[in-house]
Amino acid sequence: MNDDVQLISDGDGLAVIGNPAAVDLFLALEGLTSKKLGLPRLGAVFGKGAGIAQAVPEIAELAGRWVELTKESAHLVEELGLKKQGKSGLGTGVVKPDKSKGRVGAVVEFAKGPGSPLSNPAMLSGAAGLMAQLAMQQTMDEITDYLAAIDAKLDDVLRAQEDAVQADMIGVGFDIDEAMTLREHGGRVNEVTWSKVQGSSATIARTQSYALRQLDALAEKLERTTKISDLAEAAKAAETKAQGWLAVLARCFQLQDAIAVLELDRVLEVAPEDLDGHRLGLKAVRQRRLESIAQSTERLLARMDAAAGTANAKVLLNPIQSPAVVRSREHISLVVADFHGRLGIESGGESVEARPWTDAASEFRDKVRETGAGHVDVSKRLGTETFGRAKSVTGRFSSGIADRTLRRRGNDEAATEGSE
């Protein structure tokens, strides 16, 4: 292959394949961080295949690296203009890094012939399978970091549920973690290892469904509540419980990705001709899971947004509880955004600030002035009650308006006592 570098993109990652020096040069010129692709595994699997064995010695001499597609690297793939392959949905092409010019040359048609073993459909399919596994393992690592960062007591959350399915989730997690460890050390998933985990998907799916229902219940409670005191209570409950259920969802997603990684190994070994179809099927199922999770979390955020809007509108009469609702909303927004980021879900939430009580008081004063003389007495009475409530709850809300009102009331009381 000389200095040619073969590129494969599946939308989630970019495989860079060629002789070690050319691959290193390409990555350096583009400033890309990469991981080993694991090409020797394909040699071991396909070495016995008719028509493919001759490519195996050349695979052993190749370097293969995998690059996660971020916004920057995805932009590079677009610029290169990789050629789409039919049913596989892969983008492929060949480039020649040019060190003297400090850049990568133009993409040419995917190489063919004995010098390009990955032009073989089976080998290309195998490489795509390895890429899918690396993409899922990247998400699994992100979730591991996420759970460590929030110090989530998953076992405690699961054991607190009466439903036996939740307890089963703990055992399933142990089995899958063990299978991934055996795969890492053995380089494959044998029948014994696979038999331990192949029935785990149903348990994980039920646990995920349960967690989603719990998030939906929090959102429904907020939707049914209008009284500010009750809304503050519901918002606080959502703030307290949401992260725990997000942690359960994250663990479910992590284990589902792990099973998919194990599945691809099994298909690669026992039915490599089915690998492309299985890979694409797993990708579609995974996307549906993400959409289901996004719908529930976004519904909760929408209800929190509505609660924050209601609270800000009523801050004048509820100077303590209204800001508390907004704070709960901000906490949940940050928690969900972090969760979305780990799973690769686009999150576009904006910050909501608690409306200052003094702003509400000033607006009320302006409305009183605009109302006219016919409504002054009613407005004054409401204003006096509001300022009195704020003063009794906390001394921090003694704005200039409140001070003047309280002083006026004190003078009136003194005048009454003097007249007696």
- Full DSSP string of 191-251: HHHHHHHTT-HHHHHHHHHHHHHHHHHHHHHHHH--SHHHHHHHHHHHHHHHHHHHHHHHH
Amino acid at the residue 154: L
Domain parsing of the chain, residue ranges: 5-126, 152-343, 357-419
CA distance 206 to 197: 16
> Which pTM does this prediction carry?
0.76
CA distance 387 to 315: 12
CA distance 78 to 377: 69
Helix (H) or strand (E) holding 381: helix 376-393
Tens-digit pLDDT string for the chain (420 aa): 567 888 999 989 999 998 899 899 999 988 899 999 988 888 777 665 544 545 555 677 788 999 999 877 788 888 878 888 777 888 888 888 777 665 665 565 555 544 465 677 888 889 999 999 999 999 999 999 988 887 655 656 656 655 555 678 888 999 999 999 999 888 889 899 999 998 899 999 999 999 999 999 999 998 888 788 888 899 899 988 898 899 889 999 999 999 999 999 999 988 888 999 999 999 999 999 999 999 999 999 999 888 888 877 775 445 667 788 888 888 899 999 999 999 988 765 444 444 343 443 444 344 434 444 444 443 344 344 434 443 443 343 334 434 444 444 444 544 444 444
pLDDT of amino acid 254? 96
| Burial of 351: CB neighbours in 10 Å, binned 0-12, 13-18, 19+ | exposed
pLDDT of amino acid 205? 93
The DSSP line for 211-223 is HHHHHHHHHHHHH
Helix (H) or strand (E) holding 407: helix 400-419
Q: Which two tokens stand for residue 342?
A: 């780990």
pLDDT of amino acid 10? 92
CA distance 262 to 195: 11
Nearest Cα neighbor of 328 from 356, 348, 300 is 300
CA distance 271 to 259: 17
Cite the DSSP H helix spans in 272-356.
275-313, 321-343
Across 90-139, the runs of DSSP E, i.e. the strands, are 91-95, 97-98, 103-104
DSSP label of 83: E
